[in-house]
Structure 1
Amino acid sequence: MKDGRLLMNKGWRACSKWNRIKKGHTIVFEFVKGHVKLHIIRAEGCDVILTGSNVVD
């Protein structure tokens, strides 16, 4: 979006299931040079960082 926000219209259900994202986890999207990093901070104390390059402006 022109104001800098991202609209995630596909894949969230599969992403959250595949990465076992649950209620109580904190999710942070970080945009770096055309890539998105998904930080998953789990309530159990384990952090996961995923990187993808398929971000469409």
Structure 2
Amino acid sequence: MRICENGVYRDATPEEISELEQVATQQPTQEQTSEERIAALEKELRETKLLLGLEDTV
């Protein structure tokens, strides 16, 4: 892995690599289910239609 510091590229130390890997494993995964993705897209479509005046508010 290469690191750029002040315009100078250098190899990452083993400590830096392990720290980055540890941080990456601690990040929560936020995978949406198909139902959640569809619901979000439908909501966005409704809002877009309202914004464009293609649909009346109910």
TM over 0.5: no
Report the TM-score, using the length of structure 2 for normalisation: 0.21
Structure number with the bigger relative contact order (C-alpha 8 A, sep ≥ 6) is 1
Instruction: Answer 1 or 2: which has greater strand percent.
Output: 1
Report the TM-score, using the length of structure 1 for normalisation: 0.21
Based on CA coordinates, which of the two structures has the bigger radius of gyration? 2
